[in-house]
Amino acid sequence: PNSSIAHYNLARFLAKQGGYAEAIAHYRRALSIRPDADTHNNLGLLLAIRGEVDASIQEFQKAAQIDPNYARAFFNLGRVYARLDEPERALQNYRRALELSPNEAEIHLGLGNVLARQGQQKVASEHFENAVKLKPDFADGHVALARSLAAQGKKQDAEKHYEQALQLLKFPTKRLPER
């Protein structure tokens, strides 16, 4: 059919089932009927999963061009550039995403991770703290904050966040008695 919505919905269904090649084809068909930011973004995600990094970047950029206020496109660009070890581009895109959507824990985590890799632990910790304040059950945020605090020599605070992450992941946190 010539319905972009039908192709979009079928692509989402197929992607959830692991049918990435078919999903990509349906996203492309939806875009040929009616281009929109969300479809470009979702296509970019699938291309990234398949290792087609350059093509995924192009799709995220198209999403951002269609809707310059679409935070997910900038977030995903930040993720791709961070994986490519291009910290300046990653930071630029994460910061834009955060500007557009300041209450997204995942954006704070991504930005904090890039800053931490650059040795900016104090600023990174602030983003990790924001992430766990925004989403208290965010285990990845607690782990990142714990690592950053440990790197700053704040061992007790780090341990508290490691334990919080373990509880969230349903791992036992009580120590066994020593024999």
Contact 108, 92 (CB under 8 A): no
User: How many Cα neighbours within 13 Å face the side chain of 168?
Assistant: 16
173 pLDDT tier (thresholds 50, 70, 90):
low
Residue 20 token pair: 């990435």
What is the model's pLDDT at position 121? 95
pLDDT of 84 over the 90 cut: yes
Q: How confident is the model at residue 148 (pLDDT cuts 50, 70, 90)?
A: very high
What count of other Cβ atoms lies within 10 Å of the Cβ of residue 5?
A: 12
Residue 170: the pLDDT is: 86
What's the full length of the chain, in residues? 179
Q: What angle do CA 84, 89, 94 make, to 5 degrees?
A: 100
Q: Is 175's pLDDT higher than 90? A: no
CA distances for 91 relative to 79, 139, 162, angstroms: 9, 22, 26
pTM higher than 0.85? yes
Average pLDDT for 147-153 = 96
Which band of pLDDT confidence, cut at 50, 70 and 90, is reported for residue 102? Answer: very high
**Distance (Å, whole) CA 66 – CA 39:** 11
Looking at residue 83, its pLDDT comes to 96
Average pLDDT score over residue span 144-173: 92
Cα–Cα distance between 141 and 131 in angstroms, integer? 6
What is the rounded average pLDDT for all residues in the chain? 95
DSSP-based three-state secondary structure for 159: helix
